Structure 1
Amino acid sequence: MLITADRVLTGSGTYLEDGAVLVDGDRITAVGPRAQFAGHSRALGAELSFPGATVMPGLIDAHVHLVFDGSADPLATFNASSDEQLLRDMRRRAEQLLSSGVTTVRDLGDRNGLALRLQEEISRGGTPGPRIVSAGTPATTPGGHCHFLGGEVGGEAAIRDLVRRNLAAGAGVIKVMASGGGLTKDGPPSWQSQFSADELRTLVEEAHQAGAPVAAHAHGADSIAAVVDAGVDTIEHCTWMTKDAFGLRQDVLKKIIERGIAVCPAVSPHWQMVARHFGEERTKVLFGQVRQMAEAGVRLIAGTDAGVQRTGFENSLAGALPFYAHVGMPTDRILDMVTAHAADALGLGGSVGRIKSGLRADLVVVDGNPLADLGALREIRAVITAGCVKDPGSSAE
């Protein structure tokens, strides 16, 4: 299959004009000027031409929860649903993501391995959806944040056991709730730490010995410092909360940069409504911290926390990205956050996130020029996942 378009995004802010991508099976086999393939279209198989469009790597949402429905009260539906009901709804959400150009997601917490079951269905071709890197059951303290997912552990032995069980089930990342969170109304506040330094080190050690990365949910400034010292691979949210304010710590920020830890702020597509919750002044501080991290050189990746309160799955990522332009990030770096940089942070840089010969054929075709206008990411012409073309208009309702 030969895919041609006015532009092919081949690197950070770099286009190949009037380009073409050759796909054989589930792999990209060649990338070059359209003229390079002229006269060989019959031998190359089907040709898909997209005038006025851009071919770019498939988008990566690095933080979702497919088990939640994104309503005003996602826990109500969650608690009232059987596993089979949840799985049925998760299939629909996965298809919504794919139709929005998202070809890889990192699911950071579900119940009873449902995301792993869904990933198996998708990999067999039985269910349309993005590739899923699943954390399985996230580790939390008894009564802690997201305890209802079943990952309550106390002590180092129980932590090791949970990590091993997740990995044995097929998890591609280990998730730890290092602080409280807003979704858990009966749990500790978001700024409060949940695990001791020794417990965090034990979890990271157990995961890393098996070759698995660790993603740490950490809102509190103390919990952020603790997970950095423990050696996690990504920090989720990273809002630097204290009991009464926000407080970015320059010494911890320096360690994050030196150790190459990626930060996923998990910005909602409704980011402009944050001031209603925190107030104008605190919101300026919160947004300013993301700007400081970006300017300091932190490796930021994009995720939406899709599934939590009022955060759905359709076009969620495209709706969230203007936040990063709002805090001053250039468009080329924003696109890297949802492609190459996200792939590297998820440990998938050798297979997705770039348009390069030998990589998996996960591609999205958008109208216009996303480097000039991020709104182009809402105008999906085609989605290709593992070499299969998905009609973006056929998403389940």
Structure 2
Amino acid sequence: MNSFALHAGSLFDGFTASGPATVYITGDRIVRVDRTGALPSDGSSVIDLGSRSCLLPGLIDSHTHLAFDAGPDPVTSLAATDDTDLLTHMRAAARSALHAGITTIRDLGDRDYLSLALVEELAQHPEQGPEILTSGPPLTTRGGHGHFFGGEVEGPEALRAAVRERHRRGCAVVKIMASGGNLTPGSVPPHASQYSFEDLRAVVDEAHRLGLPVAAHAHGLQAINDALRAGVDSLEHVSFLTPDGVGSDPALLDAIVESGSFVSLTLGWDRRVAVELPKAIAAHLEEILTVFRDLHKLGAKIVIGSDAGIAPDKPHNVLPHGVGDLARLGVPPLDALISVTGMAARLCRMEGRKGQITAGADADLLAVNGNPSQDPAALLDVRAVFRAGVRVR
């Protein structure tokens, strides 16, 4: 079994930043963390990453779509691609994420459960991609947002049956489109709800009975409120849209914080590409960002889900840009880092195994030049990536 040590000029362990450190790895696990800065004296093989390096846990992207090609019309491209070619594309997308230091992802929408095939492949060859937690096709109404994935279902009993099917197939999370969205022609607008509170509650009750978390796509104010009352585990997007704009309800913000539900902010744009936001978002962007700031100030459990794949400015390696985006909202860079490591691991129910540098955790690690706990741009200057103890970059 391969054993070695990594020595770095600084360490971010998923929650706190510190000085020089040496991390010992055996096989695919971290076995010891030495924060004294001393190099091994027992003859261990050492990779010295340099005095300017920072070692941190592999990043966790809480909301991606491997099936989308990050092109100008990902929905049309998806429809024109057969399953064999789509799976080839998904492999490449996963590899792109990994090489950016993203070692775990939640895929919140695929076609025909193809991501489960990728999960099986990567279980045998983890060095070829991130660990994937998949929802399979999202639950949506007939002709609703994301219906092209194949998850159309309506009525409490049918929704419960759909949850059971995802559990049987081995999905790690249930995704439901509580509101409309921006990518689906002919569906309801993003501010409008697709399911009733009773529908959402049926999904949550059945999923929780089976031990599965529920992620709710929720742009609209009413959908956010209903999903929160239903007890979902994460609220995706949380744009607070209404027919007239953005409805920032202070009581609802407080309820989100008190509920313990995670808030998945779909940030992250590669600004080397022209950023084109959906009209419903662009028209009210500053108001939406103000709500995001308020949620952080109130103490919400914030993670970043990049929504990678949905547009040219959202490639599958875009998550590190999202950390900078969150920091630009006034969130301390350290908190922004926590949102894609230690906090994201809690959302994914992987605390102690992912998102932390601690004894017993997976040896999924990222080394960058600079100090990302002060300057998130350092995340873009990758020095090394390790997945399950194997160096992949």
Q: Could you state the TM-score of these two structures normalised by the residue count of structure 2?
A: 0.94
The one-letter amino acid paired with 2:9 is D
Whole-Å separation in 2 of the counterparts to 1:47 and 1:95: 26
Q: Of residues 267, 284, 287 in structure 2, which corresponds to 1:285? A: 287
Residues 221 and 274 of structure 1: CA distance in aligned 2, closer, same or farther (over 3 Å): farther
The one-letter amino acid paired with 1:3 is L
Residues 205 and 379 of structure 1: CA distance in aligned 2, closer, same or farther (over 3 Å): same
- Does the Cα contact within 8 Å between 1:69 and 1:312 map onto a contact in 2? no
Figure out how many residues of one structure are paired with residues of the other and give that number.
Answer: 387
User: How far does the alpha carbon of each residue in 1:23-54 deviate from its partner, in whole angstroms, 9 at most, with x for none?
Assistant: 011111000136555321x3x3x311111201
| Residue aligning to 1:369 | 371
| Residue aligning to 1:192 | 192
| Residue aligning to 1:227 | 227
3-state SS of the aligned residue for 1:351? Answer: coil
The one-letter amino acid paired with 1:206 is E
3-state SS of the aligned residue for 2:21? Answer: strand
- Does the Cα contact within 8 Å between 1:122 and 1:129 map onto a contact in 2? yes
Residues 275 and 164 of structure 1: CA distance in aligned 2, closer, same or farther (over 3 Å): closer
Q: Which moved more, 1:319-328 or 1:237-246?
A: 319-328
Residues 160 and 257 of structure 1: CA distance in aligned 2, closer, same or farther (over 3 Å): same
Which contiguous aligned blocks of 4+ residues in structure 1 show a shift greater than 6 angstroms?
none
3-state SS of the aligned residue for 1:154? Answer: coil
Q: Counterparts in 2 of 1:135-146, with a 5 A limit?
A: 135-146=135-146
Whole-Å separation in 2 of the counterparts to 1:368 and 1:87: 36
User: How far does the alpha carbon of each residue in 1:297-329 deviate from its partner, in whole angstroms, 9 at most, with x for none?
Assistant: 111101110011224435401222222122110
- Does the Cα contact within 8 Å between 1:305 and 1:311 map onto a contact in 2? no
| Residue aligning to 2:93 | 93
Whole-Å separation in 2 of the counterparts to 1:109 and 1:373: 32
3-state SS of the aligned residue for 1:372? Answer: coil
Q: Which moved more, 1:1-10 or 1:218-227?
A: 1-10
Whole-Å separation in 1 of the counterparts to 2:23 and 2:217: 38
Whole-Å separation in 2 of the counterparts to 1:102 and 1:276: 26
| Residue aligning to 1:395 | none
| Residue aligning to 2:9 | 6
- Does the Cα contact within 8 Å between 1:4 and 1:34 map onto a contact in 2? no
Q: Which moved more, 1:250-259 or 1:29-38?
A: 29-38
Instruction: Note the C-alpha offset of 1:71.
Output: 0.6
| Residue aligning to 1:211 | 211
| Residue aligning to 2:106 | 106
| Residue aligning to 1:71 | 71
User: How far does the alpha carbon of each residue in 1:222-263 deviate from its partner, in whole angstroms, 9 at most, with x for none?
Assistant: 000000010000000000000120012222222211111111
Whole-Å separation in 1 of the counterparts to 2:87 and 2:281: 37
Instruction: Note the C-alpha offset of 1:267.
Output: 1.4
| Residue aligning to 1:159 | 159
User: How far does the alpha carbon of each residue in 1:277-311 deviate from its partner, in whole angstroms, 9 at most, with x for none?
Assistant: 46987222111111111111111101110011224
Residues 208 and 311 of structure 1: CA distance in aligned 2, closer, same or farther (over 3 Å): farther
- Does the Cα contact within 8 Å between 2:270 and 2:315 map onto a contact in 1? no
2:248 is equivalent to residue 245 of structure 1: no
| Residue aligning to 2:344 | 342
Whole-Å separation in 1 of the counterparts to 2:238 and 2:294: 12
3-state SS of the aligned residue for 2:110? Answer: coil
Whole-Å separation in 2 of the counterparts to 1:100 and 1:304: 13
3-state SS of the aligned residue for 1:31? Answer: strand
Whole-Å separation in 2 of the counterparts to 1:355 and 1:99: 19
Unaligned runs of 5+ in 1: 392-397
| Residue aligning to 1:168 | 168
- Does the Cα contact within 8 Å between 2:14 and 2:337 map onto a contact in 1? no
The one-letter amino acid paired with 1:50 is L
The one-letter amino acid paired with 1:207 is A
Percent identity between the two aligned chains? 37
Residues 260 and 38 of structure 1: CA distance in aligned 2, closer, same or farther (over 3 Å): same
| Residue aligning to 1:260 | 260
- Does the Cα contact within 8 Å between 2:68 and 2:78 map onto a contact in 1? yes
Whole-Å separation in 1 of the counterparts to 2:37 and 2:244: 61
2:123 is equivalent to residue 123 of structure 1: yes
Whole-Å separation in 2 of the counterparts to 1:273 and 1:92: 23
- Does the Cα contact within 8 Å between 2:53 and 2:370 map onto a contact in 1? yes
Q: Could you state the TM-score of these two structures normalised by the residue count of structure 1?
A: 0.94
| Residue aligning to 1:378 | 380
3-state SS of the aligned residue for 1:364? Answer: strand
| Residue aligning to 2:46 | 47
| Residue aligning to 2:389 | 387
Residues 384 and 279 of structure 1: CA distance in aligned 2, closer, same or farther (over 3 Å): closer
The one-letter amino acid paired with 1:371 is S
2:296 is equivalent to residue 317 of structure 1: no
Unaligned runs of 5+ in 2: none
Whole-Å separation in 2 of the counterparts to 1:142 and 1:333: 39
Instruction: Note the C-alpha offset of 1:275.
Output: 7.2
- Does the Cα contact within 8 Å between 1:121 and 1:127 map onto a contact in 2? no
| Residue aligning to 1:394 | none
3-state SS of the aligned residue for 1:321? Answer: helix
| Residue aligning to 1:326 | 328
